[in-house]
Amino acid sequence: MTYTELSSTNGEAQTIVDTALRSAPPAELTPGKVYAFHTPTGIHKVDLTGPAQAPDRKVGTTTVRDAASFHAYFEKHADPDSEVYADAERLTVTAVLNAHQADGPRFGDHVLRLALRETETWKQWAARDGKLMDQETFAEFLEDHLPELLEPTAAEMLEIAQSFQATSKVEFQSANRLASGQRQFQYVETGTTKAGQKGQLAVPETFTIGLVPFDGSEGYRLTARLRYRIGQNGLQLGYKLERPGDIRTKAFADVVTAIGTEIDQPIMNGTPA
């Protein structure tokens, strides 16, 4: 009986496989992927990811917070066909850097947007606008915002604030308007060794503050009118800003003007498609 050696058969089979693999046509691999192959000597890896390739065009939306930043980015990426829009309601200025051309369309997906943010100081004054506070709270508010107080001076307003704190335990009875434009409060001492003693406290009926509405914008002067109420809860004080909405609108318009002086493209009123 004749026996065939198994090792010889396996060797011949492997030779056939190797020959077939070598004679097979080459396969196209997709760039950007990693491939692994089993070979007689182990696993062979082919890395086709390669270095990152630059995109074929500019895409994306960039948001900035002030006119200077808007101009810096616009100057770098804009061309004569870029379009700019201002929206006072949304407080935005939007530039479509690859906007449509007169003789053909473009993608319109490379966008620069200025989105203005109100300063914390503006928000704090706006939050208290028209609201009455007790004497202590009003005095503390003035002390915390001395840098914004222009007329009377911060030093004079600090003295007024301290006067309110010193008279927190009196009974206010009336208030009169003086010829000087101040409001004079009449009070009676209570709960002290001077109980029953009368006194007066004069406060400006209006005062001027300086506020910066938006980050990176200019500062503006606003008039605040004193508000008060004498009731069961004692003297309540506050202020009413004169036309803060107009100042906010002017501040946005000034930002748009500042941008317009630095670019050649007209700024249209509205928003892009």
pLDDT tens, residue by residue, 61-115: 999 999 999 999 999 999 999 999 999 999 999 999 999 999 999 999 999 999 9
Q: What is the pLDDT of residue 73?
A: 98
Cα–Cα distances in Å, from 88 out to 49, 214, 267?
47, 13, 12
29 vs 4, which has greater pLDDT? 29
Tens of pLDDT, residues 218-238: 999 999 999 999 988 889 999
d(CA 219, CA 211) in angstroms, rounded, equals 5
d(CA 173, CA 195): 14
d(CA 18, CA 16): 6
The answer to whether the CB of 212 falls within 8 A of the CB of 118 is no
The angle formed by the CA atoms of residues 28, 33 and 36, to the nearest 5 degrees, is: 80
pTM to 2 decimal places: 0.77
Q: Taking residues 209-221, what's their average pLDDT?
A: 97
Closest by CA to 270, choosing from 54, 86, 114, is 86
129 pLDDT exceeds 60? Answer: yes
Asked whether 241 and 58 are in contact (CB, 8 A), the reply is: no
Least Cα distance to 243 among 235, 251, 232, 254 occurs for: 251
Residues in the chain, total: 273
The pLDDT mean for the chain works out to: 88
Nearest-CA neighbor of 226 among 88, 129, 145, 84?
129
3-state secondary structure of 244: helix
